[in-house]
Chains A and B, each alone.
Chain A
Amino acid sequence: MEKVTKILFVVPAGLFLLLFFGYPVVKNVTMSLQEYTSRTFFTGEAPWVGFANYVTIFTSNLFVPSMVNTALFTVGSIAGQFAIGLALAVFFKRRFPLSNFLRSMLLLPWLLPLIVASATWRSILDQDSGVLNQFIGVFGVEPVPWLTSPGVALIAVILVNIWIGIPFNVTILYGGLQDIPEELYEAGALDGATGWAAFRYITWPNLRPVVSVVLVLGVVYTIKVLDIILGLTDGGPANSTQTLSIRSYQESFVSFEFGVGAAYSNVLIIVSLLFALIYLRANRRAVDE
Chain B
Amino acid sequence: MTTARSPRMTFGPSAAPANRAGTRRFRSRMTAVFAVAAITPLVLASCSGGGDSGSGGGEVESLSILDYYNNEPDSTLIQTAIDNCGEEIGVEIDRRTVPGADLIQTVLQQASSRTLPDVLMLDNPDLQEIAATGGLSPLSDYDVDTSGFAEGMLEAATYEGEVYGLAPTANTIGLFYNADLLEAAGIEPPTTWDELKTAAAALTTGDQYGIAFSAIATYEGSWQFLPFMWTNGGDETDLTTPEVAEALQLQVDLVQSGSASSSVLNWSQADVKDQFAAGNAAMMINGPWQIPALQETPEINWGTVQIPVREEGQTPIAPLGGEVWTVPVTGDDAKQAKAAEFVSCMSNDENQLTLAEARYTVPTKTALAEQYVENVPEMASFTEQVANARSRTGQLGEEWPDAATVIYTAIQLALTDQATPTDAFEEAAAG
Contact = CB atoms under 8 A, between A and B. Distances in A.
A43 interface: yes
A55 to B, nearest CB: 16
Contacts of A13: 31, 34
B174 to A, nearest CB: 24
A196 interface: no
A38 B418 contact: no
Contacts, number: 144
B111 interface: yes
Chain B's interface size range is 35 or more
Contacts of B7: 172, 175-176, 179, 209-210, 213, 286
A78 interface: no
Chain A contact-residue range equals 35 or more
A54 interface: no
Interface in A244-271: 253-256
Contacts of B111: 41-42
Contact of A38 (B129, B216, B265): B129
B5 A209 contact: yes
Nearest to A250: B405
Contacts of B132: 39
A75 to B, nearest CB: 23
Interface in A16-30: 16, 19-20
Interface in B1-55: 4-13, 31-32, 34-35, 37-39, 41
A122 B13 CA distance: 30
Main secondary structure of the interface of B (DSSP, over half): helix
Nearest to B134: A42
Nearest to A258: B108
B261 A128 contact: yes
Interface in B99-120: 104-105, 108-109, 111-112
A237 B263 CA distance: 10
B6 A41 contact: no
A16 B133 contact: no
A174 interface: yes
A147 B266 contact: yes
Contacts of B402: 255
- The 6 lowest CB-CB distance pairs between A and B, nearest first, are A236-B217, A12-B35, A42-B133, A238-B412, A15-B38, A41-B108
20 contacts: A9-B31, A12-B35, A42-B133, A43-B133, A60-B431, A127-B261, A128-B207, A149-B416, A171-B12, A172-B11, A174-B13, A234-B216, A236-B412, A237-B217, A237-B265, A237-B415, A238-B409, A238-B418, A255-B401, A255-B402
